[in-house]
C-alpha cells in the first residue's frame, strides 16, 4: 500500500472512483435546478484548493525544489483554468480547460509518474487533484453545455505555444523537465518516450498536440451538430 504500480488493480480502482465522482458532479448539476451556481462554485473551489495545496505544500514542508515545484505544469494550468472557468465563466478559461485538461492533463492519470501508494498522502493529492481538473472539464461539457469551436482552437494555440516556449527555455537553461519537454524522460513510459531524441522530440510533441487539439475541435463540433438534431446533449450553454 505504500508503493504505487502503474496499470495495477489499484490504478484501475482509483480511475473508477474518479469517474464515479465525475458522474455525480454532472448529475447533480443537471438535476438540481436551483443550485446550479452553487455546484459550479463548489467545483471551482475544489480545483482552487488543489492548486493552492500543490503550490504551497512544498514551501510549508520546507522541501521546495525549483526543478519540480514551480506551478507551471499542464496540470497546474488546467486546475487554475478550471477554477476560473467555473467561477467567472470566461470563454478563454473554458477553452483552455477543455484542451489542456482533457487533452494533456488526462495523461497524468493514464501514465502516472508516481511512486507513492494509497497509504501515503501524495497518492491522494496526485489522483484527486488531477481527477478534479479533468472532472471539471467533463462537467463543463456534459452539465454546462460547453462546446469547442475553431475560435477556441485559435485562441488556445498561441497561449499553449507561449507556455511551451517558456517551459522549453527554462528546461534548456537549468536542466529541468517542466511539461516533459526537457532533456530527460519521465520514469513511467508515456507517448513522449517514442518521439525521438531531444530537442527534436519537442517539435514532434508540438505537432502532435496541435493535431490532437484540432481533432478534439472537430469531434466537439460534430458532437454538437449531432446533439442539435436530438442525438445527444444540446449545445446551448446553460451556465
Question: Residue 231: is its pLDDT beyond 50?
Answer: no
Q: What is the pLDDT of residue 50?
A: 93
Q: Considering the domain boundaries, does residue 99 fall inside one?
A: yes
**Of the candidate ranges 60-69, 91-100, 115-124, 186-195, the one whose mean pLDDT is the lowest:** 186-195
- Rounded Cα distance, 54 and 179, in Å: 16
Question: Residue 100: is its pLDDT beyond 50?
Answer: yes
- Rounded Cα distance, 216 and 238, in Å: 21
Residue 24, C-alpha cell as written in the block: 455525480
Give the chain's mean pLDDT. 91
The residue to which cell 477556441 is assigned: 152
Residue 196, C-alpha cell as written in the block: 525521438
What percent of the chain stands above pLDDT 90? 80
List 3's β-bridge partners, or say none.
Answer: 116
Question: Residue 67: is its pLDDT beyond 60?
Answer: yes
- The most distant pair of C-alpha atoms in the chain lies apart, rounded to whole Å, by 56
- Rounded Cα distance, 24 and 17, in Å: 11
- Rounded Cα distance, 191 and 114, in Å: 16
Question: Stretch 49-70: mean pLDDT, rounded?
Answer: 93
Residue 7, C-alpha cell as written in the block: 496499470
Q: Which of 239, 22, 222 is nearest to 231 (CA)?
A: 222
pTM confidence score: 0.90
Tell me how many domains the chain contains.
Answer: 1
- Rounded Cα distance, 15 and 37, in Å: 27
- Rounded Cα distance, 169 and 167, in Å: 5
Beta carbons within 8 Å of 114's beta carbon, 6+ residues apart: 4, 6, 122, 123, 126, 188
Host domain of residue 196: 9-231
Beta carbons within 8 Å of 128's beta carbon, 6+ residues apart: 18, 50
Decide which of 118 and 185 is more confident.
118
Q: Which secondary-structure segment (H or E) carries 234?
A: none
Residue 65, C-alpha cell as written in the block: 525544489
The residue to which cell 465525475 is assigned: 22
pLDDT band at 228 (very low <50, low <70, confident <90, very high): low
Q: Considering the domain boundaries, does residue 4 fall inside one?
A: no
- The DSSP letter of residue 186 is -
- Rounded Cα distance, 57 and 102, in Å: 25
**Phi and psi angles of residue 47, each rounded to the nearest 5 degrees, phi first:** -70, -40
Question: Stretch 171-200: mean pLDDT, rounded?
Answer: 88
Amino acid at each position: 500500500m505504500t508503493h504505487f504500480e502503474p496499470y495495477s488493480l489499484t490504478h484501475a480502482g482509483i480511475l473508477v472512483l474518479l469517474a464515479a465522482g465525475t458522474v455525480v458532479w454532472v448529475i447533480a448539476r443537471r438535476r438540481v435546478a436551483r443550485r446550479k451556481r452553487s455546484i459550479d462554485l463548489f467545483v471551482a473551489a475544489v480545483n482552487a484548493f488543489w492548486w493552492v495545496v500543490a503550490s504551497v505544500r512544498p514551501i510549508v514542508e520546507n522541501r521546495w525544489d525549483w526543478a519540480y515545484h514551480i506551478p507551471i505544469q499542464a496540470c497546474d494550468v488546467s486546475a487554475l483554468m478550471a477554477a476560473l472557468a467555473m467561477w467567472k465563466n470566461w470563454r478563454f478559461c473554458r477553452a483552455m480547460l477543455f484542451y489542456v485538461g482533457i487533452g494533456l492533463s488526462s495523461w497524468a492519470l493514464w501514465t502516472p509518474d508516481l511512486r507513492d501508494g494509497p497509504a501515503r498522502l501524495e497518492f491522494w493529492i496526485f489522483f484527486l487533484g488531477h481527477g478534479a481538473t479533468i472532472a471539471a472539464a467533463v462537467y463543463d461539457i456534459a452539465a454546462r453545455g460547453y462546446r469547442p469551436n475553431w475560435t477556441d482552437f485559435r485562441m488556445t494555440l498561441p497561449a499553449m505555444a507561449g507556455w511551451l516556449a517558456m517551459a522549453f527555455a527554462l528546461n534548456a537553461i537549468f536542466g529541468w523537465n517542466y511539461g516533459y519537454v526537457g532533456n530527460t524522460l519521465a520514469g513511467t513510459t508515456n507517448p513522449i518516450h517514442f518521439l525521438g531524441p531531444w530537442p527534436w522530440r519537442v517539435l514532434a510533441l508540438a505537432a502532435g498536440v496541435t493535431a490532437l487539439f484540432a481533432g478534439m475541435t472537430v469531434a466537439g463540433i460534430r458532437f454538437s451538430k449531432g446533439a442539435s438534431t436530438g442525438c445527444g446533449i444540446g449545445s446551448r450553454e446553460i451556465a
